[in-house]
Amino acid sequence: MSKSSANELNFRASVDLMFNRAASFMDISPKLIEKIRVCNATYIVRFGVKLRGDIHTFTGYRSVHSEHLEPVKGGIRYSPHVNQDEVEALAALMTYKTALVHVPFGGSKGGLCLSPKDWNEEELERITRRFTFELSRRDLIHPSLNVPAPDMGTGEREMAWMMDEYRRLHNTDINNIACVTGKPVHLGGIYGRVEATGRGVQYALREFFRHEDDKKKAGLKGDLDGKTVVVQGLGNVGYHTAKFISEEDGAKIITVIERDGVVRNKKGIDIEALKQHMLSGEPLSAFSGGEFSESDPAAICDPCDILIPAALEGVIHMDNAHSIKTKLIIEAANGPVTAKADKILRDKGVFIIPDMYANAGGVTVSYFEWVKNIGHIRFGRLQRRNEEAKNRSLIQALEEQGNLNFTKNFKEDFIEGALEIDLVRAGLDDTMRAGYKAIKLTLEENPQLEDMRTAAFYKAISDIALHYQSIGL
Ligand code: NAD
């Protein structure tokens, strides 16, 4: 990845600049705007864990951006680059994201400064449990106050450890498993959470292709079928997005940019095969389904219809934005485009679907998981068979009295009541469609906002401001 120049803003300043651009169009008191923009608190903890016969000190963060709604929500990232600026920027984005897609949470984010590759599973478990204990002491993990989720470098495994540690510490709290989301299904997780962010990106892209005016602005036609795509990062978000849009919608993934190199194939990369290859531990260079090159900073500028940055922040910056050759960027990662690059791309006419909307699928399904946990019942458990019985009666009546004949497959599909995964996908699709339409409506009512990102900020800030104005501070 190419480095941005020293003139580039840091991540938080970049998010604030985008926020300020939207706020400048609003008729809201500057004092209230400031209250909404600032991060309420950031807790930094240093703790020791005895490993390999020695004490190792780790630094962890949990930032709470806004508590206008509780619990606050946001992932926990494991990366050697985690720092206060980063978690505060990510926590702010969580506040705006949840407001935009009407998920009733405030914004938070956390991180642990370590490289997961440096520690084995048992060691990571001990570190995670100790971090959970530190967070729990300050109610920074809590079913009704602060609910972490996975992010870069963490997944179901870490969430299971965190939940279990919290449950041990608070065994009389009947809602204790709602302290984190993104847990394995057998430990109170929900079907569809692992894939949720990538699935949400797919639904956002499908929604984009339903809007002729937006396609025209981007210079695109038709639907996802046959569109050339460059993806950066084949982790949770990048893998699921690339898999779904290539296998289900016919998009052609021509470049995958990973930490260890780049894979290109003009005919389209088999994403499942590439992912299995990566999981097998073989080097990327040994993958036979495409042409490999060493880490190449220019790969993000490969010509394509759609660019999907799905790795980390700040990868499109003022030094490479001029060279980006795509029509549409969908920000699957948080903050992949810096504020300065955003301006360059807007001037070039690149259409950007912003992170706060594009990757909201994760927090949306986390919300469903949390509701399931505090409801203590799986979605669809009460209704499924009732729905099935009604559908069966309808089909029988139509066949007997209406002289209609349905195929066996149709009958089976129609009669079967919805499973939890069906309900989760339907709820996610609805949220992504509604989010896109809310941004578009904001733009229609305020054409001076010009672009989707500014409209998304405008909509989120308006809703949070209304909240504060209605209840006072
Ligand atoms: P992940 O750790 O599963 O995957 C990240 C991938 O990016 C890895 O495959 C890693 O090797 C690759 N990568 C790292 N540095 C890279 C570089 N310099 N160049 C190319 N590839 C690189 O993380 P994730 O959960 O998929 O998160 C990715 C992004 O999506 C982050 O910005 C995160 O905040 C955001 N996000 C994640 C979720 C979620 O549910 N996991 C939800 C919303 C947003």
Predicted pLDDT of residue 378: 94
Closest-lying ligand 1 atom to the alpha carbon of residue 359: 43
Q: Where in the chain is the domain with CATH 3.40.50.10860?
A: 41-187
Predicted pLDDT of residue 7: 78
Collapse the DSSP code of 44 into the 3-class scheme (helix H, G, I; strand E, B; otherwise coil) and give the result: strand
39: Cβ–Cβ under 8 A, 6 or more apart, which residues? 12, 63, 64, 65, 88, 91, 92
Q: Where in the chain is the domain with CATH 3.40.50.720?
A: 1-38+192-380+418-473
Residue 231's H or E segment, with its range, is strand 228-232
Pocket (CB within 6 angstroms of ligand 1): 1, 150-153, 197, 232-238, 257-259, 310-312, 332-334, 359, 362
Could you give the C-alpha distances from 297 to 232, 257, 260, 274, 354, in angstroms and in order? 11, 9, 12, 21, 22
Q: Is 175 exposed, middle or buried (0-12, 13-18, 19+ CB in 10 A)?
A: middle
Indicate the top mutation candidate among 312, 329, 334, 337 to test ligand 1's pocket, ranked by most ligand atoms within 8 A of CB: 312
**For 268-293, b where at least 16 C-beta lie within 10 A, e where not — what string?**
bbbbeebbebbeeeeebeebeebeee
CA of 411 to the centre of ligand 1 (A): 41
CA of 291 to the centre of ligand 1 (A): 23
CA of 1 to the centre of ligand 1 (A): 14
Annotation says 109 is catalytic: yes
d(CA 32, CA 29): 5
Q: Which fold has domain 1-38+192-380+418-473?
A: Rossmann fold (3.40.50)
Closest-lying ligand 1 atom to the alpha carbon of residue 237: 26
Joined together, the tokens standing for residue 439 give 């941004």
Instruction: Locate all alpha helices (DSSP H) within 56-195, ordered by sequence.
Output: 84-100, 121-137, 156-169
Phi first, then psi: what are they for 253, rounded to 5°?
Answer: -85, 105
Predicted pLDDT of residue 177: 98
Closest-lying ligand 1 atom to the alpha carbon of residue 235: 4
Task: Tell me which of 50, 73, 97, 109 is the catalytic residue.
Answer: 109
CA of 235 to the centre of ligand 1 (A): 5
Q: Read off the amino acid at residue 273.
A: A
Q: Read off the amino acid at residue 127.
A: I
Consecutive sets of 10 residues in the chain, 473 residues long: mean pLDDT of each? Answer: 69 96 96 96 98 98 97 98 97 98 98 97 98 98 98 97 98 98 98 97 98 98 98 98 98 97 98 98 96 94 98 96 98 97 97 98 98 96 94 95 92 92 97 98 97 98 94 77
Query: What's the predicted TM-score (pTM) here?
Result: 0.96
| Sole residue written with tokens 């569809």 | 192
CA of 428 to the centre of ligand 1 (A): 20
Collapse the DSSP code of 450 into the 3-class scheme (helix H, G, I; strand E, B; otherwise coil) and give the result: coil
CATH of span 41-187: 3.40.50.10860
Predicted pLDDT of residue 1: 43
